[in-house]
A and B are shown apart, each in its own frame.
Chain A
Amino acid sequence: MNSILDIEHLRTHFKTDDGTVRAVDDVSFQVRQGEIVCIVGESGSGKSITAMSVMGLVEGPAGRVVGGNIRFDGEELLKLSRNELRTIRGNEIAMIFQEPMTSLNPVLKIGEQLMEPLIEHRKLNKKAARKRAIELINEVGISRAEQIADSYPHELSGGMLQRIMIAIAISCGPKLLIADEPTTALDVTIQAQILDMLRKFKEESNMSILLITHDLGVVAEMADYVVVMYAGKVVEEGEVVALFENPKHPYTQGLLKSKPIINQRQEELYSIPGQVPNPLELVPSCYFHERCAHCMEICKTTQPALKEVGNQQKVACWLYEEATANV
């Protein structure tokens, strides 16, 4: 399988009054065609900023992509002009957001918002666009499509709006769909429907999905490949089965341990002690060392590099450096 999205050494920084925040710090991974890649991490781990960097949404005086490459389908996104980028956005890369309620323009009808990318990228006329829009509403499993097309966003529920967002996203047949916590704002029964729908469209059109989430249940359900991020860095990545069965990094182990298991009532749910470090006070070290049960001297002074540890699994941790060194 050839890779559709290739991120290499991506660094996105934000300048604040107190110093530079390295929100994404030397992140590399690939998304192959027809594959679902999940980025997992706590709030502030840089997973959303990674996605926004791909979309070119990090802008303005404060935030900037300061280094690295983002290659989409062989094309370097960071070198494209505004206009070239515009023809890719919504057309070949689509994105859906966490909050469907606020992601749609409140004063435009659903149908109008569905028609826009079709008119813009597919060059359809209004009539054809409306016809396609109604088909799309049907495809995402909403009945009374005509009526929904003439409704305003505030007349629909969150679950329905997220379906509409998906309909808008897939309307131009993108090669890559970036979904930034698409189910976080929805209730559990709807979550499963939305995820099923994403998977269905992925299978039908062989698109790739970059799914950003902090919900390990979603990861287990959806992912082919998992990237675990912590404080702007990739700490572990690998095939989903291997990673769930044999997590290497203490952080990944902690994440998996803190997931509630159905039918097993524990006295207290495990939680990783401590907090995500202040991104302004990071010094060269393993950023996880303060919270790590296996912390060694070297962890406090030198940053481990992401190294392959067999079976398509990579981890950035001194524990395994030593292990390989000792063998």
Chain B
Amino acid sequence: MSTINGEATKAYLSKKSVHTSLWRQSLRRLLKNKLAVFGFVVVAFMFAACFIGPLFSPYTDNKINMAFMNKPPSLKHWLGTDVLGRDVLTRVLQAGRISLTVGLASMVLSVFIGSLLGIIAGYYRGIVDQVIMRIADLLLTIPSLPLLFIFGALLSEWKVPTDYRMYIVMLMLSIVGWPGLARMVRGQMLSLREREFMQAAIVLGLRDRRKLFNHLLPNLVPLLIVIATLNIGGAILSESVLSYFGLGVMAPTPTWGNMIDAANNMIDFQEHPWLWIPPGFSIFATVIAINIFGDGLRDVLDPKQKR
């Protein structure tokens, strides 16, 4: 009897000693959301395929091969070849690398700018807040697509080398991406800074830097993760739109956006659907998957925002 009790206590204690950390709880709840898990699997698959897939392709050199112009899918070229005889599957995967990188990088940049400015505006209020938020408002009042078009046109006008365009597109996307984020972060900050534990932090005589980045930032992390995830989808879409119009990343560097450009051509649209369906489907699948996953994350991490 006593041994059974002993065992039970031991089991109880060991169970107790495992921390019911918030992250672990969240992960468990996320795993219960089948749709979000599905979204994550699709996104992960896309990343893996785009970054690892081309390594196994014999066509990565993008050699122009006039003998294989516009061939439909076959065993040799799973998704056919394009007008210059290049393998479409390989190009879609290589394009994915660029599109996903642009999406990720511009998300990281806009989350960095947006959260930093949002935190500062929300914490210090007053004149700092006014200046930052009026700039954000200004950027928000201009519809982002026309703004991006103007940027893109300027890039073409200034004859920016195509190699650099990818980085400049990232920068452009984060410039239009940060204001919304900063606004949300600032709102959260305004409420967080009034919480009792912040008063306690003031009473401890902590430096502002410590209060902002050790106390307040960790409270924002769930919100930031959710926004960041959803942002990637938006950035990929914007990049595609820009590239489709020839204002973003330009050929020969492939992106999903500039590959869909093939659909502009009536003959290609009707006769060679393997040119535009794969990149189109990739954008569709990736963005939908990211949004589903982001929504799942929001339900788990940010219960206040549940609709």
Residues of A participating in the B interface, judged by any CB pair closer than 8 Å = 55, 57, 85-91, 94-95, 97, 99, 102-108, 112, 116-117, 120-121, 147, 150-152, 155, 165, 168
Contacts and interface: CB of A to CB of B under 8 A. Distances in A.
A9 B7 CA distance: 65
Contacts of A104: 197, 200
B222 to A, nearest CB: 9
Given A116-B210, A120-B210, A151-B19, A103 B204 contact: no
Contacts of B197: 102-106
Nearest to A99: B196
Contact of B218 (A85, A99, A108): A108
Given A89-B205, A116-B214, A120-B210, A103 B200 contact: yes
B200 A97 contact: yes
Contacts of B21: 152
Interface of B: 17, 19-22, 195-197, 199-207, 210, 214-215, 218-219, 221
Nearest to B200: A103
10 contacts: A86-B206, A87-B205, A90-B203, A95-B203, A97-B199, A97-B200, A105-B201, A106-B219, A108-B214, A116-B210
Contacts of A91: 205
A76 B197 CA distance: 27
A57 B17 CA distance: 38
Given A120-B206, A150-B19, 18 more contacts: A55-B202, A55-B203, A57-B203, A86-B205, A91-B205, A106-B219, A107-B22, A107-B218, A107-B219, A108-B218, A116-B204, A116-B206, A116-B210, A120-B210, A152-B19, A152-B22, A165-B200, A168-B204
A97 B200 CA distance: 8
A225 to B, nearest CB: 23
Interface-centre pick from A87, A103, A152 (highest chain B CB count, 10 A): A103
Interface-centre pick from A95, A102, A105 (highest chain B CB count, 10 A): A105
Contacts of B203: 55, 57, 89-90, 94-95
Contacts of B199: 57, 97, 103
Interface-centre pick from B22, B205, B207 (highest chain A CB count, 10 A): B205
A28 to B, nearest CB: 23
Nearest to B220: A107
A57 B221 CA distance: 27
A253 B219 CA distance: 48
A57 B215 contact: no
Nearest to B17: A147
